[in-house]
Amino acid sequence: MIIVLRSEATQKEVDEVVARLKNLGFGAHVSRGVERTIIGAIGDEREVDLEEKIGVLPFVERVIPVLAPYRLTSREFRPADTVVKVGEAEIGGGKVTVIAGPCAVESEKQILEVAHRVKEAGAKILRGGAFKPRTSPYSFQGLGELGLRLLARAREETGLPIVTEALGVEELSLVAQYADAIQIGARNMQNFRLLEAVGKLRKPVLLKRGMMSTVDEFLMSAEYVLAQGNYQVILCERGIRTFEPSTRNTLDLSCVPLIKSRSHLPIVVDPSHGTGRSDLVEPMSLASLVAGADGLIVEVHPNPVEALSDGPQSITPFQFSSLMEEVKKITRLLGKEI
C-alpha cells in the first residue's frame, strides 16, 4: 500500500502515519519528493483495510493499493488452470465447452426438444431457467420446481448435465438437489449471502459478471465462494452496461484474456445476453473463443417466436447446429478440444 500525503503535511503528521502503520503491524518506508511525501506500507495489505484506516487522516491525499485484493482466486495463488467438472463435462484447461438451452424452461416438450437438439449439435451442458429474475413483478417468473423436474427429465433422456439459476438462499437446497451446477445471475453478483451459501455447497458455480462490475469486483465475488472452500467456480462474461443503446449490453471480450492472466478460474462467454440480438450470437461466439474463452453459454429455443422470455436473443436449434460447425473449426484452429 502506498500512502501519498498532502503537500502541506508536516513532519509530525508523517510520524503519525508511521506510528499508525506500526500499530497495525506494518513497516513504513518514507520517501520525500519535491512536492509530496509518500510512504510505502510494508506488510500484507489484504489483512487490514489500510484505505480506511489511513486514507481517512486529513493530511493523507490518497492511499493506493499495490496488490490485487483477491488471493485464492489469483493466478499467483494457483498458477495452473482450474478445470471444473460439471457432470462428465469439463470446463477449462484447453477445452472448449458449450452450454446451451432455453432462457426459461417452459414445458416438457420444449426442454426435451432443445436438449436433444443441442446435444446432437455438440453441446456438453444443458441450461434452462426454472427461477427467473425479472425486472418487472408482472413478467413470467419461471416454472419453479416443476421446471427443475423437467430439467432433470431432460438430463435423464440425454445424459447432459444441467446448470440452472438460484435467485436466493432459500431456494438453494432445492435447486442443488436437481442441478449439476448452480448459476448466480448478474444481478446477484454482489448478493453476498447467496455467494457465501453456494460457497458452502460442494457443487460447481457458474458466476455471471454484474453488468456494472469491474473485473476486480468480479474476481472478489468469486473469492467469496472460494473463501468458503468451494473452488469449483466458472466465471461468465455477459456484457456490461454502457451508453450504447444498439445492443442490450456491451460484451467486454478484452476481459477474457485479462482474467486469464489474473486468475486460474475458467471463463465462458454469454453472447446471448451480451448482445441481446440473435444475429450477433454467432460472430460474438466465435470471437469469444478466439479471445481465449473456455466455452460459451448460448440461448437456444425451438421456436424463439413463441418463447416466454428472451426470444429476441435466442437462436433456433438449426442456427445452433450451424454455429457449432463454426465453433468446431475455430476450436481445431486454436489447437483445443471440444
Quote the least distance from Cβ 183 to a copy of itself, whole Å.
15
Pick out residues in 307-326 that bind a copy of itself (CB under 8 A). Answer: 307-312, 314
Q: Which three cell numbers stand for residue 121?
A: 449439435
Pick the stretch among 87-95, 106-114, 138-146, 148-156 that binds a copy of itself (CB under 8 A): 138-146
Alpha-carbon distances, residue 276 vs 29, 105, 286, 323 (angstroms): 51, 19, 16, 17
Closest CB 4 distance from a copy of itself, rounded Å:
6
x/- contact string, 38-77, with a copy of itself (CB under 8 A)? x-xxxxx-xx-x-xxx-xxxx-----x-xx-xx-----x-
The nearest distance, CB 237 to a copy of itself, in angstroms, is 11
Q: Does 176 bind a copy of itself (CB under 8 A)?
A: no
Measured from the CB atom, the residue of 193 and 202 that comes closer to a copy of itself is 193
For residues 179 and 166, give the distance between their C-alpha atoms in angstroms, rounded to a whole number. 10
The amino acid at residue 82 is T
Please pick, from the candidates 180, 224, 230, 272, the single residue that binds a copy of itself as defined by CB under 8 A: 224
Strand order in the sheet with 27-32: 27-32, 37-42, 2-5, 60-64
> What binding mask, one character per residue, do residues 257-276 give for a copy of itself by CB under 8 A, x or -?
xx--x------------xx-
Q: Which of 10, 156, 242, 318 binds a copy of itself (CB under 8 A)?
A: 242
Residues 179-218 binding a copy of itself (CB under 8 A) are: 187-188, 190-194, 196, 210-212, 214-217
Minimum distance, C-beta of residue 88 to a copy of itself, in the bound complex (Å): 29
Considering the rule CB under 8 A, would residue 144 count as an interface residue with a copy of itself?
A: no
94 is a contact residue toward a copy of itself (CB under 8 A): no
Q: Which of 13, 152, 171, 322 binds a copy of itself (CB under 8 A)?
A: 171
User: With respect to a copy of itself, which residue has the nearer C-beta, 27 or 159?
Assistant: 27
